[in-house]
Chain A
Amino acid sequence: MSAYLVTLVILVSVAALVGLALNLQWGLAGLVNFGVSGFVALGAYGVAITAPHIGWLPAMIFSALLCAAISMALALLSIRLEENYLAIVTIGFGEIVRILLLNEGWLTGGALGIADIPRPFAAITPPGGGDGVILAFAIALVALVFVLLELLVRSPFGRVLRAVRDDATVASALGKPVLALRVRAFAVGGAVMGLAGALHAFYLTYIDPSQFTPIITAYAFMAVIAGGRGSNLGLLLGAGSIMALLEATRFLKDLVPSIDGAQLSALRLGMIGIGIVLLLILRPQGLVAEPRRRATEFFPNAKGEG
């Protein structure tokens, strides 16, 4: 049971990291990324390939930088156009990553994947204590990313991103470099997705392309919509409750024995789809609405009129 609990916490941590990243890109900056699974896969393979040679910390940094650089390139290509183009470019990117991972066997092991990925602190871990260490590592990583992103959201950078999202024309009329801001937001998001992939690889110590399907993307969107676009705290709530709900559907099999594995996964994914649509229609602000600050907070002496 405790092993199961560890799995659950790690699953939620990975989902939370991916969600936080998407929340920055889509929630805060208004940039759609349908290629989330591709970035997570890239991050995971980045550490899987480099960690045995350069150690876990440099490998994680490498993965994050790699994902940031690729996000930047994709963003530069398509961000100056309408949202539709960024969406299709990122969806294409996700598929291309999957195809490359499957077919470039010399680097990625093809469909067999990569095994024996070294975990962080493996050398100083007491035997049998592996789960505790990775658990602490996951929680620390999520906490660190959460705090950094919260600082970012509250910084002038976060404010101007919201302004760009709400009205790019007004922001650029005020002299804000809209394109550069968007590219930076997209790159930071990509880096965090890379970290999520790294955590995934460290926990499982074995990765293959079938672990990185577009389902990851769907979960991330669901988490952001459920938690409330732009609110990091809401996102943690959203990601946690969704993963818990999804895990709970496992027990559906005991209740309805006639259901088979494929049907169960179809049911889960269909529910996610329905959830996304219903929340968009009924509660677009999510569980926790984006924190809005009034102008009077910035100018306490001014006589605000509401």
Chain B
Amino acid sequence: MAQLFLNGLVTGLLLALPALALTLVFGILKFANFAVGALLTFGAYAGFVANVQFGWPLPLAAAFAALCVALASIIADALVFERLRERGSITLLVASMGVSLVVENICRFFFGNAARSFDVTLARPIRWQGVRINHEQIVTASVVIVALILVHLLLTASPLGRAMRAVADNPSLAAVRGVERRTVARIAWALTGALLGIAGVLAGLDRAIDPLMGWNYQIPIFAAAILGGLGSPLGAVAGALMIGLAEEMSALILPTNYRQVVSFCVILLLLLFRTNGLFGAKAVRK
């Protein structure tokens, strides 16, 4: 029981970064980016190249992955999303699906379907009061918590964060005050890319790296972001923790094959009863 709780917390922390990435872009550009999963996969492979093929240590590889995915996100924005920005969110949704296909298959083309893993030495898990704690779990938890604190500080205590929140609240008013949406959007893409790159490396530590790994995280990521209220960064983190706990705890009553079903049911229940999420601002009812 305590073991499942701990696993759930770590799974939730792992989900927190991509959920945050999803919600940040949604807040500023008002569309759900279906390429988060593929970009996460891309991050894992970038980390793999740095770690295994260049022989870099893992922290450096993670930084490399963050940089690569940030660049990829900016390129995707410049080539695709910016050109379609005025066409409404449905077009952007479908375009993000197209981008997702391209990114995923670039990874598949170069690395094949076989599962890969990072070059890390396996450490013996720590036992504490009957609970097993993996080395990877400690790394994941500490990296995510540091990243979350940094993002929080960036959003709340810097001029850039103020500008991002201003654009999210009211783009025209922000524009009148001299805050340009385009620049802010680019920075938001870079930030989400970096988060997804780090998340990809952490996910690769947790499981194997394969072209579909990000796709398998897609539903929990969306469940977390919707649970927290799309567009609310703090909510996304809280939602991610809850989804992580729900998925791991469900092992008590459900076969583990059905973990994804848990996330899906959470989404359905939310849509039925609390459409704006637990912490969401305003409802998006049409």
Chain B binds chain A = yes
A interface, CB within 8 angstroms of B:
26, 30, 32, 34, 77-78, 80-85, 87-89, 91-93, 95-96, 99, 102-103, 168, 214, 218, 221, 225, 260, 262-263, 265-267, 269-270, 272-277, 280-281, 284
A280–B95 touching, CB < 8 Å:
yes
In the bound complex, residues from chain A placing their C-beta under 8 Å from that of B132 are none
Residue of B nearest to A281 (CB): B83
Residues in B with CB closer than 8 Å to A260 are 112
In the complex, the answer to whether A88 meets B98 with C-beta atoms within 8 Å is no
Chain B 20-63 per-residue mask, 1 if CB under 8 angstroms from chain A, else 0: 00000010000110100000000000000000000000000000
Additional A-B contact list (12), CB under 8 Å, known A77-B272, A277-B98? A26-B90, A32-B93, A77-B268, A78-B271, A81-B271, A81-B286, A84-B32, A89-B268, A99-B261, A273-B105, A275-B98, A277-B80
Would you give the shortest CB distance from B39 to chain A, in whole angstroms?
Answer: 13
Q: Is there a chain A Cβ closer than 8 Å to B183's Cβ?
A: no
The answer to the question of B127 belonging to the interface, with a C-beta cut-off of 8 Å to chain A, is no
Q: Across the interface, which residues of A come within 8 angstroms of B99, CB to CB? A: 273, 277
A-B contacts, CB under 8 A, total: 134
Nearest opposing residue in chain B for A83, CB measure: B90
What residue in chain A is nearest B79 (Cβ atoms)? A277
Asked if B97 and A30 sit within 8 Å, CB to CB, the answer is no
Q: Which residues of B contact A214 (CB under 8 A)?
A: 215
B83 touches A32 (CB 8 A): no
- A87 and B98: CB pair below 8 A? no
Closest-by-CB residue of B relative to A74 is B268
Residues of chain B whose beta carbon lies under 8 Å from any beta carbon of chain A = 26, 31-32, 34, 79-80, 83-84, 87, 89-91, 93-95, 97-102, 104-106, 108-109, 112-113, 211, 215, 218-219, 222, 226, 230, 255, 257-258, 260-261, 263-264, 267-268, 271-272, 275, 284-286
Are B257 and A103 in touch, CB under 8 angstroms?
yes
* A270/B102 in contact, CB under 8 A: yes
- Determine the main DSSP class of B at the interface with A: helix
| Bound form: Cα–Cα A302–B175 in Å | 45
B101 touching A276, Cβ below 8 Å: yes
Q: Are A281 and B286 in contact (CB under 8 A)?
A: no
Chain B, residue nearest A224 (CB): B94
Is the CB–CB distance between B93 and A83 below 8 Å? yes
Give the interface SS of chain A, mostly helix, strand, loop or mixed: helix
* A81 with B109, Cβ < 8 A, contacts A88-B32, A88-B267 known: no
Mind listing 30 A-B residue pairs with CB under 8 Å?
A32-B90, A34-B97, A80-B285, A80-B286, A81-B275, A81-B284, A82-B89, A83-B89, A87-B93, A88-B32, A88-B219, A91-B34, A91-B222, A92-B263, A99-B260, A102-B257, A218-B101, A263-B109, A266-B105, A266-B109, A266-B211, A269-B101, A269-B104, A272-B98, A273-B98, A273-B99, A273-B100, A274-B102, A280-B91, A281-B83
Q: Select which of B31, B97, B100, B109 is within 8 A of A267 by beta carbon.
A: B109
Chain A residue numbers with a CB within 8 Å of B32 are 84, 87-88
Residues on B with C-beta less than 8 A from A276 are: 94-95, 97-98, 101
B97, B101, B102, B286 interface centre (most CB from chain A within 10 Å): B101
Shortest distance from the beta carbon of A86 to any chain B beta carbon, whole Å? 10
Q: Name the residue on A nearest B112 (C-beta).
A: A262
With contact pairs A99-B257, A262-B108 given, residues A270 and B94 touching in the complex (Cβ less than 8 Å):
no
Complex contact B284–A82 (CB within 8 A): yes
Given A84-B32, A280-B95, are A95 and B219 neighbors across the interface (CB < 8 Å)? yes
User: Which residues of the partner chain A approach B102 to less than 8 Å between Cβ atoms?
Assistant: 270, 273-274, 277
Chain A residue numbers with a CB within 8 Å of B222 are 88, 91-92
Q: Is the CB of B112 within 8 A of A263?
A: yes
Among B26, B263, B264, the one with the most A-chain Cβ atoms within 10 Å of its Cβ is: B264
Chain B residue with Cβ nearest A31 = B90
- Which of B87, B90, B95, B113 has the largest number of chain A CB atoms within 10 A? B90
Which residues of A have CB within 8 Å of B90?
26, 30, 32, 83
